[in-house]
Structure 1
Amino acid sequence: MSGSAPDSAIPRRCLVTGANRGLGLEFVRQLLARGDRVIATSRHPGRAHALNQLAGQNPGRLHVLPLDVAEPKTHAELARELPLVTEGDGIDLLINNAGVLHSGERFGHVAAAQLDDSLRTNAAGPFLITQALAPHLAEGAKVANLSSMLGSIASVDGFHTPTYAISKAAQNMATVLLAQALRERGIAVIALHPGWVQTDMGGKGAQVTPADSARGLLGVIDSVGIADSGRFIDWQGNALPW
């Protein structure tokens, strides 16, 4: 991969969606530890207790803003509010982390409402948020879309989490299209598989801690350059099949 690690003397401005728990919260912790400035979003900021505690410990470096990735009107509201928080500076790193997984789905009983919710949150959400925030992305910024190996069509080996898998496959196409749209501004857009992570979504049997996954993913993000835009990569830096 063709990029280089960020200069620690120059704090990046980062935006992380779905940051109230799990991997999103861990991204916020590690970005703050690296000295970056972070805008963290949550559907219900008032209930994001761990996130608000972090904000209290990092005054001026962490801002918590409302965002529902499945509701485009909140994308526009976030875009309007950003310049007030960033003082007009662009976002250097956008991590589209928010997602939803409906468990227990069986063929013959997959609900249309669950498929619609998965597509709006996991596929349309990252695409529309990136489109809405594009004017606020710095030249040469990076966009990281949290995908999943379950969205790899080439890797399907059974009828597993269908609405999640379909939506993540659609999100992968959105990543490739965004990479094309933003390439002329030097903005790299990548799809990332975080591993099977020990979060509410990943479940108790998961093998990777949020800390290890976030650390690995941030290392991958650091290493990618514009030549890598549009790639599908896992948390250890391995290329994945579409």
Structure 2
Amino acid sequence: MSRRNVLITGANRGIGLEYVRQLLARGDHVIATARHPAQAHDLNRLVAEHPGRLHVFPLDVMDPKAEAEVARELPLVLGDEPLHLLINNAGLLHSGERFGHVPAANLEDSFRTNAMGPFLLAQAIEPRLADGAKVANMTSQLGSIANTTRFGTPTYAIGKAALNMVTRLLAAALADRRIAVVSLHPGWVQTDMGGAQAPLAPQQSVAGLLRVIDGLDMARSGSFLDWQGETLPW
């Protein structure tokens, strides 16, 4: 495919912003979302550098009405063209949580951002997805139930475990249209969330993730993979 139409959430910084950079470098047409587009300065600079190939939409994935609004706005930039790739990247991590002191609000925030938002967005834009399109849900190895051996980042882990179920359910719902859906763990990456001590640069992680997405077929739809394409346990 010479050019893909790609929608990516949480694109104002970190892994999301690096996805935008690399997708634009490949010649793709990108619709990027951010909660506060006016404050997404790096993203807006890219808009100026790539006129007509990058559009920025406001989206707070915690607001169910916002996903429907994105679906309504897509024709304004795509016309009759479909979307070929959805990357559900927006995520939320509450740091410093301790057992016995985890507030309900943290659980609600994490579920709405990390699981509910991606599900509702995929559901809202499904009519705009091309047959044979791909959906990449950015999860984490912390969402692996099988690998959990300690108490840490509980609301984030719970939200990402729920997102992994979203992947399995979407894979089943979209199979008849040959739309492959996958959960992707980006590795421990040098971002605001991952910290400066992380071993992976965003450029390296995203390059690997795009290779995994490019190679994704229906045989691997519903899988839980890392940035190198290795299968992770649920």
User: How does the TM-score come out when normalised to structure 1?
Assistant: 0.96
Aligned to 1:213: 205
| Cα offset, 1:204, TM superposition | 2.1
Q: Percent identity?
A: 66
Deviations along 1:14-50, one digit per CA (max 9) or x if unpaired, are: 0110000000000000000001110000011111100
5+ residue gaps, structure 1, are 1-6
Aligned to 2:176: 184
Aligned to 2:113: 121
**SS of aligned partner of 2:146:** helix
Aligned to 1:93: 85
Aligned to 2:34: 42
- Distance (whole Å) between structure 1 residues aligned to residue 149 and residue 193 of structure 2: 20
Instruction: Indicate whether 1:156 and 2:161 are aligned.
Output: no
- Distance (whole Å) between structure 2 residues aligned to residue 72 and residue 133 of structure 1: 13
- Distance (whole Å) between structure 2 residues aligned to residue 192 and residue 145 of structure 1: 6
| Cα offset, 1:208, TM superposition | 0.7
| Cα offset, 1:58, TM superposition | 0.3
**SS of aligned partner of 1:154:** coil
- Distance (whole Å) between structure 1 residues aligned to residue 168 and residue 210 of structure 2: 20
Aligned to 2:5: 13
Which of these residues, 223, 226, 231, is aligned with residue 234 of structure 1? Answer: 226
Tell which has more relative contact order, 1 or 2 (C-alpha 8 A, sep 6+).
1
| Cα offset, 1:206, TM superposition | 1.0
Instruction: Please show how residues 64-143 of structure 1 align to structure 2 within 5 Å.
Output: 64-143=56-135
| Cα offset, 1:101, TM superposition | 0.2
- Distance (whole Å) between structure 2 residues aligned to residue 61 and residue 19 of structure 1: 15
After superposition, the CA RMSD in angstroms is 0.6
Question: Match of 2:72, as an amino acid?
Answer: R
| Cα offset, 1:227, TM superposition | 1.4
- Distance (whole Å) between structure 2 residues aligned to residue 152 and residue 205 of structure 1: 22
Question: Match of 1:19, as an amino acid?
Answer: A
- Distance (whole Å) between structure 1 residues aligned to residue 5 and residue 204 of structure 2: 22
- Distance (whole Å) between structure 2 residues aligned to residue 46 and residue 202 of structure 1: 25
- Distance (whole Å) between structure 1 residues aligned to residue 99 and residue 165 of structure 2: 24
- Distance (whole Å) between structure 1 residues aligned to residue 145 and residue 196 of structure 2: 26
